[in-house]
Amino acid sequence: MIDLTEFRIQANEMVDWMVHYYENIESFPVKPDIPPGEILSRLPAAPPSAGESMDDIFRDFKNTILPGMTHWQNPSFFAYFPANSSYPSVLAEMLTAALGAQCMVWETSPAAAELEERMMQWLRQMLGLPSSWEGVIQDTASTSTLTAILTAREKYTGFSSNKQGLSGLPVFRIYGSTETHSSIEKAVKIAGIGQENFVKIKPDDHLRLDPAKLSQAIEADRKTGKTPLAVIATLGTTGTTAIDDIEAIGNVCQEHHIWLHVDAALAGTALLLPEFRWMIRGIERADSFVFNPHKWMFTNFDCSAYFIRDKESLICTFEILPEYLKTKTRGKVNDYRDWGIPLGRRFRALKLWFVIRSYGVEGLQATVRRHITIARWLEEQVIQNPAFELMAPRTLNTVCFRYHPVEIKDAATLDRLNETLMLHLNKSGEMLLSHTRVGGAYTIRLVVGQTYVESRHVEEAWKRIKDTATAIELKNS
Ligand SMILES: Cc1ncc(COP(=O)(O)O)c(C=O)c1O
């Protein structure tokens, strides 16, 4: 155990280390090249019986843990979707940890509840969402979507399924496309609706949910006595960042009185830019919306912004009032424990406040715009290079491509070549990419979204991709 004097010494040392880490982040391999079990084998099998010095613990962090970390804040992290962060966000997280507050109800931290209320209003304005909507911070988009599906289920059953259980209820159906994120299918499982009742509709040529096919699926279900409950539209699918047509899908939902949830986990951040507001044309027809500031808005994981049209139905779904949580302020303030699944809540609004104030809306816009401009540059390089193929249209910051030398015609060979290419690049530690399948074909994704990424990082990555592709092909020929 350390005392406050030692805490000061260690805290200063760790802040210095953090600065050094960020200064040198490009020198760390983006992903460690270590076998499974390597770190585990270096950790003692049993806990220490006597306390150890912080110097020893910190030394082991640097020697044992750090070499096994993937460096998500390295500007050459281009995989998945980013979980980016920023200096103001890290500072806020330090203060949040120091306060150690559990923000379950207004009474347990009034400022946390009221800052959360204000931050959600700021975000709503910043993204151009309807002014009557209300928002709450959840841990992840997965939780937000589960919250939406549970609320849809409760609202449909007149809030009786929470009380009486699911037996005797109709067979509910939830709709998305084959490109919809796996967290939706998971939510359908957890919500007691049954994985088989998640209807995955084949997307259109641009990998968007097809409103006509959606309509047909709903009508077919109705004819067989099933009950369409909710549609999940995606702004920015995980594979290719395709943008579903909210207006057209909203019309179908309105016609059939179905809940519309919009999953904008990554792409919601692009709504900061007026030139991308077309993505939410028709949003007033949606019932709920989620985007993750912890993906592309420079706010440390976790921070998921969930918005809802009808706040009362959300609260009716989740509220529960044991004696020990009764307060005199109930009904006059927002008790966010009633706005989602967990009782205990972290103070997540603080990092949003720090980030939004430190960048300003214009600073956030400039950074996101820069990322999109860099992604556009890369897309042009891919298009212009006859040995590469653009696999899906780029809308925002995800570029999907594969290496496709003209002489190779065989699909399986191309898949193998591209998988080998990506594995080589990732193993180098110089960058991290991930993949998807487009029309069944192995496709490499490069997402430009890390906070500190500059043109030079993507230029360097592109050169390395081309050189490695040529080297692999020569070796194989
Ligand atoms: C479109 C989309 N929705 C939902 C999620 C799940 O996000 P979370 O990790 O916050 O649950 C992701 C994750 O990448 C995603 O890409």
Compute, in angstroms, the gap from residue 330 CA to the centroid of ligand 1: 33
Distances (CA, A) of 63 to 43, 58, 143, 266: 11, 9, 35, 34
Q: Is 234 in the pocket of ligand 1 (CB under 6 A)?
A: yes
pLDDT of residue 1: 84
Compute, in angstroms, the gap from residue 265 CA to the centroid of ligand 1: 6
Compute, in angstroms, the gap from residue 142 CA to the centroid of ligand 1: 6
Q: What's the mean pLDDT in 228-253?
A: 97
pLDDT of residue 77: 98
Q: What's the mean pLDDT in 433-457?
A: 97
**pLDDT tens digit string along 55-71?**
999 999 999 999 999 99
The answer to whether residue 476 scores a pLDDT higher than 80 is: no
The answer to whether residue 83 scores a pLDDT higher than 90 is: yes
Beta 227-234 vs 198-201: how paired, if at all?
A: unpaired
Asked whether 184 and 197 are in contact (CB, 8 A), the reply is no
Percentage of the chain modeled with pLDDT above 90:
95
pLDDT of residue 477: 62
User: Can you tell me which residue has the tokens 């424990």?
Assistant: 337
pLDDT of residue 473: 76
**pLDDT tens digit string along 208-238?**
999 999 999 999 999 999 999 999 999 999 9
Instruction: Share the mean pLDDT of the chain.
Output: 96
In angstroms, the CA 188 to CA 193 distance is 6
Asked whether 182 and 234 are in contact (CB, 8 A), the reply is no
Element (H, E) at 315: helix 311-318
**Ligand 1, closest atom to CA 264?**
1
Q: List alpha helices for 24-160, DSSP H.
A: 38-42, 54-60, 87-99, 110-127, 141-156
The answer to whether residue 204 scores a pLDDT higher than 70 is: yes
pLDDT of residue 305: 98
Q: What's the mean pLDDT in 356-384?
A: 98
Beta-bridge partners for 290: 263, 306
Q: Is 81 in the pocket of ligand 1 (CB under 6 A)?
A: yes
In angstroms, the CA 474 to CA 472 distance is 5
**pLDDT tens digit string along 305-364?**
999 999 999 999 999 888 888 889 988 999 999 999 999 999 999 999 999 999 999 999
Distances (CA, A) of 205 to 35, 243, 345, 439: 40, 12, 42, 9
Q: Among 121-125, 166-170, 472-476, which is the least confidently predicted range? A: 472-476
Distances (CA, A) of 4 to 9, 10, 446: 9, 10, 45
Among candidates 89, 184, 200, which has minimal Cα distance to 144? 184
**pLDDT tens digit string along 28-65?**
999 999 999 999 999 999 999 999 999 999 999 999 99
Asked whether 152 and 259 are in contact (CB, 8 A), the reply is yes
